[in-house]
Amino acid sequence: MSQQTAQQIQLSPTPHDGLEMSWRRSGVRPFLQHLQEYGIFAVFLLEFVFFALTSDHFLTPENLLNVTLQTSIIAIIAAGMTFVILTAGVDLSVGSLVALTGVIAAWILKFNLPPAVGLSLAIAGGLLVGAFSGAIAGFFITYFRVTPFITTLALMTIWRGLAYIWVDGRPIWGLPPIFDALGSGRILAIPFPSIVMLLVYLLAWFILQHTQFGRNVYAVGGNAEAARLAGIATRKTLLRVYLICGALASLSGVLLASRMSSGQPNAGLMYELDVIAAVVVGGTSLFGGRGSVIGTFIGAMLIGVLRNGLNLTGVGSYVQQVVLGIVILLAVLLDQLKKRET
């Protein structure tokens, strides 16, 4: 076969190319691109209006504040998960880390320490657990080249087992009232966890949009090898990303333990799925390099409003799982179409 013939074969359009060209001409692809980038806001508004019209209790101030409270735990973890998924990684250990952190914080509070000292040590101990978990995950992923899925799957099992071992499978009750204020207290009628959630997202947005580290996160997720050749410390970036995710998971673990007024070794079950769902629905690509914490926040609130609204309209929990699964599947489909476009 001559070189000219080979070039003709390579340049000749395929059926797939024809489909791509027809999609471009018809405007389907641009529509899908804009749908993924801006559709999350439109869907959230439509969902909000729908439940406002179908339930008399939805728009009450107390219910709206409850939505932010119920969503805050998942949303805080999702902010950290956004950093991880932006680098084309994943952390499946966050749910188990929530349980282990809550158990350790409750265990510290059972010592006869002054209330302020005990509370400070409980929070610090919990955050250290998360940072330690993130450091281990980042170390295995960056230095031993173990895939994030396998590394964090192993840690998910280890942390859950340690949570049960730490308390011999029994919850820790009878925690001091000062600890309960973290999860149940309010400032100007706004739940304290909701305020923490907003502060976390403001800080995460600033880091990703206005710091060199944030730019490095996007670069590593877009093309890790190109980022390395450009002089970016990819290992250090990945380590920091998993540290952030672990620390925020532990922060959520402390807040959840406070809300339940106990350290529960079975807390956080399946949280990792809800967290990943919030990130993906918010438009962050599973392939890395594209997304934002603002999208994640809207994604988390969309899921929170969806569950709250379905509860108010009498839809059962099993049907809610089906609806949420459909939403996630559509979000992943849009991500795949966007990847093919680029």
What's this model's pTM, rounded to 2 decimal places?
Answer: 0.87
Q: Measured between alpha carbons, how far apart are the two ends of the chain, in Å?
A: 32
- Among residues 220, 309, 324, the alpha carbon closest in space to that of 278 is found at 324
Domain boundaries, the chain: 31-341
- Among residues 305, 337, 293, 267, the alpha carbon closest in space to that of 96 is found at 267
| Confidence (pLDDT) at 339 | 61
User: Per-residue confidence of the chain (342 residues) as pLDDT tens digits?
Assistant: 444 444 443 344 444 444 444 444 444 455 444 455 556 788 888 889 999 999 999 999 999 999 999 999 999 999 999 999 999 999 999 999 999 999 999 999 999 889 999 999 999 999 999 999 999 999 999 999 999 999 999 999 999 999 999 999 999 999 999 999 999 999 999 999 999 999 999 999 999 999 999 999 999 999 999 999 999 999 999 999 999 999 999 999 999 999 999 999 999 999 999 999 999 989 899 899 999 999 999 999 999 999 999 999 888 888 988 988 888 787 777 766 666 665
SS3 at position 269 = coil
CATH code for 31-341?
Answer: 1.10.3470
Q: Rounded to the nearest 10 degrees, how much is the dihedral formed by the CA atoms of 141, 276, 182, 307?
A: -170
| Confidence (pLDDT) at 331 | 75
